[in-house]
Amino acid sequence: MPAQIVRAALLALLTACVAAPLGVFVAPWAGWLLFCGGLILQMAFHFRNLARLDRWSRAPDVDASLEGKGAWDGIFGRLYRHEKDLRRQIADRDAEIARIIAAIQALNDGVILLDPDNRIVFCNTMVEEQLGLSLRTDEGLPIVNLIRRPEFVDYLGGGDFTRPLTLRFEHGEERALFIVVIPYAGNRRLMHVKDVTQTDRLDRMRRDFVANVSHELRTPLTVLSGFLETLGEIEVDARTRGRYLTLMAEQARRMENIVQDLLTLSSIESAPPPGDEVVDMARLVDKLRRDAEALSGGRHTVSVESDGLADLRGVEPELASAFGNLVSNAVRYTPAGGTIRIAWKTSPDGAEFAVEDTGIGIDAKHIPRLTERFYRVDRGRSREAGGTGLGLAIVKHALNRHQARLEIRSDPGKGSRFTAKFPPGRLARP
Ligand code: ADP
């Protein structure tokens, strides 16, 4: 039997023991009065404590313990400790949840938690950047109302999450998101969103590159095999044969040039960072002038302007190849009678190597893409001029490795200026 009941019974018995003699020896009503009065006092005591318990249970104050007497003291003490323990456990759990949320917020990837009806329960701040969703405004909303792309709606509705989904956004800033849905806790879902724009772009560049190389090599190969077939099948006179052989040699040279430029590009890409080897600029500029004159064959005026105040630090073959490409482009894209100017100048901000021509020029819309592999303004003209479409890609890579940048200014019909700007750290002053 609980101690409180025993205690209440004993108190009632004690009251009865005092009231009974009074009822017997004085007057029965006096005995009853004392007995009932005792019981009423006991009940008042319990009701008062009950009222205090009721008040406290509505707004438990764990900073001040409830004071009680008798049996109530133990009850109040236990309730007070229980409430305090509960609060501590809740606070610990809240802190744990806050740490988990902070960890999810710190992720570089987006995380969205969905309920069984695909409504947003939680999403981290990265999702805001990736998909424009925000927990503050979108909590509880069906995600398909916010991301309406049909492939996404089908993917989520299909319920087959063994394969991820790649969402590509082509309007505005180009972006690619890799989405994986992981079911958890029965039919709830965790959506993991990864920004794969960079790898997607690299992947596409690699695919385009392979397609471009194949295309570039296939054209001369087709011409070559066509001539070979003709020569093998029909008898041709010596003059025609000679003409065929000249054309075949031209195609073979074209393939050789492409392979040579590809090898240069790949060796620049895989080479270690350039060291501090001093490149004699006076000698290099002089060699570039002689090369330009040889390529021009007297059709252009070639001039050189050099202050001779500093040399460059870096890899000579790479710089020679970059500058050589600029010079050969200037000669190839400048009609006879034009002028090519090669300049090497130093300044407090660094130094610049420039090649200026009075050639055909380039329309402004092509300039941002000129350094892409195989990009040409006029494919036929480039081919006629013996171009591979890789020259400026080589220039860009070689300059980047030397912390230099390429500036292109051009006026269609008037001429172009290609400038390689080097920072002061790349200079070797005598
Ligand atoms: P290519 O081998 O075709 O010359 P490049 O990468 O060297 O390839 O140049 C890319 C394109 O940029 C060329 O096809 C040409 O259209 C244009 N270009 C480069 N240099 C000049 C220049 N000095 N004047 C006019 N157009 C140029």
Ordered structural domains, the chain, with CATH: 2-90 (no CATH), 107-195 (3.30.450.20), 200-270 (1.10.287.130), 278-428 (3.30.565.10)
Please give the number of the atom of ligand 1 that sits closest to the Cα of 376.
14
How far apart are the C-alpha atoms of 127 and 136, rounded to whole Å? 12
Name residues contacting ligand 1 (CB within 6 A): 325, 329-330, 333, 357, 359-362, 370, 375-378, 382, 387-393, 416
Task: Judge residue 265's burial from the number of C-beta atoms within 10 Å of its C-beta, 0-12 exposed, 13-18 middle, 19 or more buried.
Answer: buried
pTM above 0.85, yes or no: no
From 258, 355, 362, 371, mutation site for ligand 1 pocket: most ligand atoms within 8 A of C-beta:
362
Please give the number of the atom of ligand 1 that sits closest to the Cα of 392.
6
Ligand 1 atom 7: the closest Cα is on which residue?
391
From 256, 259, 333, 418, mutation site for ligand 1 pocket: most ligand atoms within 8 A of C-beta:
333
How far apart are the C-alpha atoms of 134 and 136, rounded to whole Å? 5
Place of tokens 């800033």: 173
Distance 390 CA to ligand 1 centre (A): 9
Distance 376 CA to ligand 1 centre (A): 6
Longest dimension (CA), the chain: 160
Place of tokens 């205690």: 7
Tens digit of each residue's pLDDT, the chain (430 residues)? 577 788 888 888 998 998 999 899 988 999 999 999 989 998 998 898 888 888 888 888 777 767 777 778 888 888 888 988 999 999 999 999 999 999 999 999 999 999 999 999 999 999 988 999 999 999 999 999 999 999 999 999 998 899 999 999 888 788 999 999 999 988 899 999 999 999 999 998 899 989 999 998 998 999 999 999 999 898 889 999 999 999 999 999 999 999 999 999 999 988 888 988 999 999 999 999 999 999 999 999 999 999 878 999 999 999 999 999 999 999 999 999 999 999 999 988 899 999 999 999 999 999 999 999 999 998 888 878 778 999 999 999 999 999 999 999 999 999 999 999 999 999 987 6
